[in-house]
Structure 1
Amino acid sequence: MSTIETTTGRQAPALADQTVLVTGGARGLGRTITEAFLRQGAKVAVGYHESREAAEQLAADHPGRVVAARADVRDRAQVDALVARANEAFGSPVSTVVNNALVGFSFNGDARSHAHEIGYGEFADQFAGTIQGAVNVVQAALPGFEQLGSGRVINVGTNLFQHPVVPYHDYTAAKAALLSLTRTFADDLGPRGIRVNMVSGGLLRTTDASAATPEPVFDAIAESTPLRSVTTPAEFADAVLFFASPWARAATGQNLVIDGGLVKN
């Protein structure tokens, strides 16, 4: 197994030696992330909620390297079963988790709830999918991380709470909380060799979730960036690979914004 020595003395596996869990990994951005790991030789457990056909097709296209299992990330028992399925199928613990699942949300500015009308139930729904989901996934993966002596958690965030091009109140609040969780979990889990980071894009051009965004909105965002472009799912996935790789061995508690320079951390 190819490894690089970490600052804590533990070994960080190369991407080709990793078992990766991607929640919501069968479609949209999640599928792009799944395929990026597969190109690097990793084995991938694809968690899905409603995209059964797409998930099973991925498994059929990559026999022995993809296992697909349904799990609602808000349900701890289902997440435990998903992780157990991955560990059993690949014969080794999950070494990296990507918290990508997005529960019931579409980036449609015309249909969003405005400040004068939004109810707390909409916030609660997003917090359940984003925060409860991430906590469930990390905690389910911890025994495997402990066995390996290291682990990687990569949370999918957004730049919208730093630059609200469109004020999606519920989604943005949940992702801001996920950044806080990223930093506090990094502090708590770091002594165990577990690194917790976030990759934040803006509206990506294009995913299933952003398909409802009008092209003029994308064009306006592009004109506001130094690179004059809107980040693609493939470009976003590159940053996820970095945090999963041995080259990010000294990085934890970080939020890497991948948006063409619109937001500067």
Structure 2
Amino acid sequence: MTRYALVTGAGQGIGFGIAKRLTEDGFHVYVTDYNQELAGAAAEKLGGTPLVLDVSNPQSVRDAAALVPELSVLVNSAGIYPWSPLVDISVEEFDRVFAVNVRGNLLCMQAFHPHLAADGKGAIVNITSMSALAPAIGVGSYAASKAAAAMLIQQAAVEFAPDGIRVNGVAPGSVQTEGTNRAIKEGEAPQEAPFIPLGRLAGPADMASVVSFLASDDAGYVTGQNIVVDGGFLNNTFALYRHVTQPA
């Protein structure tokens, strides 16, 4: 029996990597993006179904949900990450970050809740960030939005459990994508990174493998978790401190 998954922000980057892995896992994937061309091109590569979906727009979310007859897995991967110091960020930009990164997750979880409940063992995986756990200069609004998104996971996990829906998160570290760094090409190894204990940046596939687990029956007793996938970076701050403070 075919099972269906929907991934937001799947036109490229982490979202595409997740959609690709879920396709390999046997799901038919609804490949969604606010950009129609990106959604169409990605779906064609994967053999999935393209959907135009702007997670910040309630009507767009409702329209997408009406086109999906059944669903087992929802992955909220769509996100934006403007670089702006808190002293400079405008109200409009701050609101836009939260509209996509937090409210978008909520809208999609609400809209697809009936589908996932009907499945009997539905799973939601929301993509957060290691920025939810540690501040960095210039990403204040993004970090705050991801911290809110992380708590939303815990809240939804408690509220949706009686409906048979598990809710978890994946918090990426530094990932090479079109939006952050030079994107990884097919078969290419991620860039080396000496201050990450595992020695390299991540690729979308590193996030996708954890999402695959959380979406599977193997994670049937896992809910309310936000798994950090950063190659050990957050645990290595003392080594970075020693490097920047030692004499040249």
Q: Deviations over 1:213-253 (max 9, x none)?
A: 9xxxx97x932222122221111110110100111101100
Which deviates the most, 176-185 or 226-235?
Answer: 226-235
Q: Return the offset for 1:189.
A: 0.8
Of 245, 248, 262, the residue aligned with 2:216 is 245
Query: Which range moves more in the overlay, 233-242 or 119-128?
Result: 119-128
Checking the alignment, whether the CA contact within 8 Å between 1:67 and 1:86 is kept in structure 2 is: no
Is 1:53 paired with 2:30?
A: no
The one-letter code sitting in structure 2 at the alignment partner of 1:100 is S
Q: Does 1:211 align with 2:196?
A: no
Residue correspondences, number: 229
The percent identity for this pair of structures is 31
Displacement after TM superposition at 1:144 (Å): 1.1
- The alpha carbon displacement at 1:24 in A equals 0.8
CA–CA distance in structure 1, aligned partners of residues 65 and 136 of structure 2 = 36
CA distance in 2, matches of 1:164, 1:244: 29
CA distance in structure 1 between the partners assigned to 2:132 and 2:22 by the alignment: 28
Structure 1: which 4+ aligned runs deviate by more than 6 Å?
Answer: none
Alignment of 1:9-158 (within 5 A): 17-50=2-35, 52-63=36-47, 66-87=48-69, 93-103=70-80, 105=81, 112-158=83-129
Give 2:22's aligned amino acid: F
Secondary structure of the residue aligned to 1:241 is helix
Contact 2:10 2:42 in 1 (8 A): no
| Inter-partner Cα distance in structure 1 for 2:128 and 2:95 | 17
The offset of 1:53, in angstroms, is 2.3
Q: Deviations over 1:35-79 (max 9, x none)?
A: 1111112100011112x223223333444xx11111211222211
Q: Is the 8 A contact 2:7 2:31 kept in 1?
A: yes
2:243 equivalent in structure 1 = none
Identify the residue that residue 238 of structure 2 maps to in structure 1. none
Return the offset for 1:165.
4.7
CA contact (8 A) 2:124 2:168 kept: yes
Aligned CA RMSD, in angstroms, stands at 2.2
TM-score, normalization by structure 1: 0.80
Gaps of 5+ in 2: 184-189, 236-248
Answer whether contact 2:194 2:200 (CA < 8 A) is retained: yes
Q: Please give the alpha-carbon distance, in whole angstroms, between the structure 2 residues aligned to 1:44 and 1:83.
A: 14
Match for 1:197: what amino acid?
N
Cα distance in 1 for partners of 2:177, 2:84 equals: 21
Q: Using the TM superposition, give the Cα deviation of residue 151 of structure 1 relative to its aligned residue in structure 2, in angstroms.
A: 1.3
Query: In structure 1, what residue type is equivalent to 2:39?
Result: A
Can you list the C-alpha shifts for 1:75-132, whole angstroms capped at 9, x where unaligned?
Answer: 2221122122232xxxxx11111111124x35xxxxx322332233322111100111
Cα pair 1:83 1:94 within 8 Å, conserved? no
Q: 2:139 aligns with which of 163, 168, 176?
A: 168
Supply the distance in 1 between the matched residues of 2:64 and 2:173 (Cα, whole angstroms): 29
SS at match of 2:68: helix
